Structure 1
Amino acid sequence: MTFKPLRKAVFPVGGLGTRFLPATKALPKEMLPVVDRPLIQYAVDEALEAGIEQMIFVTGRGKSAIEDHFDVAYELETTMAQRGKSMELLHQTRLKPGAVAYVRQQEPMGLGHAVWCARDIVGDEPFAVLLADDLMVGEPGCLKQMVDAYNRTGGNMICAQEVPHDQTHMYGVITPGARGGALTQVQGLVEKPKPGTAPSNLSVIGRYILQPEVMRVLEGQEKGAGGEIQLTDAMARMIGDQPFHGLTFAGRRFDCGDKAGFIQANIALALAREDIGGAVRDFARAELG
């Protein structure tokens, strides 16, 4: 069975980041650093590992720092070169010419609307969606695991993770079908169900592989939970027309849209570093007594 290869990825980065104010008043939340890399860099690195060739950023006002991050920094690089400093740390921030596209989402109308804004760049190809707030740590990365599974199943695929039952109202939730290994057939999807009504505790996490037909559904601009255009609602209408699976990621997820999750990510990734792990571990032990 053959499918169109996955070459494009959409990064919805137009959100206001109000949960991290005042830090995000002038700095996009996607540029908040986890140890020494901004969140958006982790997501782009994950996409590159999965073979993505074109990164599509759906931005909003005040997001120019993201464009600058993936551009050439002439003054910085010239100064570093003159001082004999290694440029290796900047290599992943310099994407190939033509490998980056930006489109503006003029107003925040939901994730579905943000994805729909990229429709003309996506064209008639399958595409991935990565939410930088969800920092996924594993080997191989989350999207690479999904791409490997997609190459066997085709259709649509979402990252799935079990969450506590009392938190299902915070997520899109899957009505599960047959399960085989890490894959679960998706029989239904509901966005942020009312407490006690969720069909399972298998939630949708911020990684998706979608067929271009979802853009036709999003054209209707139908509003769902929170009065926003929900991607989950559009995906639900694709069920039955195309294969649809959830893949349980073999790795760790940090919810960096939450302050506690963001701090946890910094601690976990710092502890895993050879250069600073020991110092951070010693400090944590001293603080905890």
Structure 2
Amino acid sequence: MIKPVKKIVLPVAGLGTRFLPATKAIPKEMLPVLDKPLIQYAVEEALEAGIEEIILVTGRNKQVMEDHFDHAYELERILQEKGKEEALELSRSMLLEEGRITYVRQMRPRGLGHAIWCARSFVNDSPFAVALPDDLIKGKPGVLKQMIQAYNEVGGNIIATMDVAKEDTSKYGVITPGESSGKLTEVKGLVEKPHPEDAPSTEAVVGRYILQPEVMEHLAAKEIGAGGEIQLTDALDKLIGNQPFHALNFEGKRFDCGSKIGWLMANLSMAGDDPILASQMRQLITFQ
């Protein structure tokens, strides 16, 4: 029997050094893409997929993210007094039922695997999703919903993958592919950031996962992997052969908003979806 996925872990404790000085006091997950911060896109995607419990793994100076999902009483009062109902509604747009978002602190950055392990007490024995807010993925339906639909058919572990250039495999976790059926490919192996000449394929893992709770047992060993960090990929590799494990070649466009060019392209893409902004951008570009 396949247990439903109702929990998600969002690792948001990173330092965001590629966006300094902007991220000196503002978490990179709060950088706006058009009119919403990155973290909001990830939460909205999770809610669309039917996720009920959201677990944020935070670090120091991340309290602003907690505030974003809470009431801003002074702002709401001022907007109400001024009759700005549309703005008031937007300010309340991410208020969720109490208890649906929980926060756990990662004391120091030790890698993605360690961040996931920090959420073990909230995950317990349930399957769970993971989303990296840095990876903004435009898709209809959202990627997490696509993954849960596939999970409900095959169970086990599912990772989102996309094809990358051979020379870029050193930037990603890369799978050893098995048999394919539709959008799903059996995963025979996983390696973190292989040199291009050693990469088993060009199918790279992007920041969406559906995982079984047994991964926490392997993460608890705190084995050091690539980059001197505790890698989630290494723990996942140990599940292969013991549980169903598939890669989903998702439908959608992924933007690496951990990089400046990826963040810029995401803003342009989102603006292009708005008819008014798209028209204004064309006029501005023509004028320039």
**Shorter-chain TM band:** over 0.9
Q: CA deviation at 1:83?
A: 1.8
1:95 to partner: Cα distance? 1.4
SS in 2 for 1:112: helix
Q: In structure 2, the residue corresponding to 1:276 is in which secondary structure?
A: helix
- Residue number in structure 1 paired with 2:236: 235
Deviation of 1:37 after TM superposition, in Å, equals: 0.2
Deviation at 1:180, TM superposition (A): 1.3
Structure 1 residue aligned with 2:153: 152
Q: By how many angstroms is 1:92 displaced?
A: 3.3
Aligned equivalent of 1:18: 17
Question: What do the CA deviations read for 1:79-104 (whole angstroms, capped 9, x no partner)?
Answer: 11222222332343211110010000
SS in 1 for 2:8: strand
- More displaced stretch, 72-81 vs 226-235: 72-81
Question: Which letter maps to 2:277?
Answer: I
How far is the alpha carbon of 1:133 from its aligned partner?
Answer: 0.5
SS of 2:5 mapped into structure 1: coil
Aligned to 1:139: 140
Q: Which moved more, 1:74-83 or 1:136-145?
A: 74-83
2:36 matched residue in structure 1: 37
| Distance in 1 (alpha carbons) for counterparts of 2:151 and 2:111 | 26
SS in structure 2 of the partner of residue 157 of structure 1: strand
TM-score, structure 2 normalization? 0.97
2-structure distance, mates of 1:223, 1:54: 29
2:69 paired with 1:60: no
1:103 is aligned to: 104
Displaced runs of 4 or more, over 2 A = 284-287
Instruction: Supply the distance in 1 between the matched residues of 2:93 and 2:54 (Cα, whole angstroms).
Output: 13
Matched residue SS, 1:209:
strand
Q: Which runs of 5+ in 2 are unaligned?
A: none
Aligned to 1:279: 280
The two structures have a TM-score, normalised by structure 1, of 0.97
Give the share of equivalent positions with the same residue, in percent: 59
Q: Quick one: distance in 2 between partners of 1:89 and 1:182?
A: 36
Give the CA deviation at 1:140: 0.3
Count of residue correspondences: 286
CA deviation profile, 1:139-167 (whole Å, cap 9, x unmatched) = 10010000100000100000010011100
Kept in 2: contact 1:34–1:265 (CA 8 A): yes
Write the mapping of 1:217-228 to structure 2, written as runs, cut at 5 A.
Answer: 217-228=218-229
Is 1:271–1:281's contact at 8 Å kept on the other side of the alignment? no
Does the 8 A contact of 1:43 with 1:135 survive in 2? yes
- What's the secondary structure of 2:159's corresponding residue? strand
Query: Partner of 1:94 in structure 2?
Result: 95
User: Is residue 127–residue 211 contact of structure 1 (8 Å, CA) maintained in 2?
Assistant: yes
1: distance between equivalents of 2:286 and 2:269? 14
Structure 1 match to 2:128: 127
CA contact (8 A) 2:71 2:92 kept: no
Q: 1:163, 1:95 → 2: CA distance?
A: 37
Counterpart for residue 71 of structure 1: 70
Question: In angstroms, what is the RMSD of aligned CA positions?
Answer: 0.9
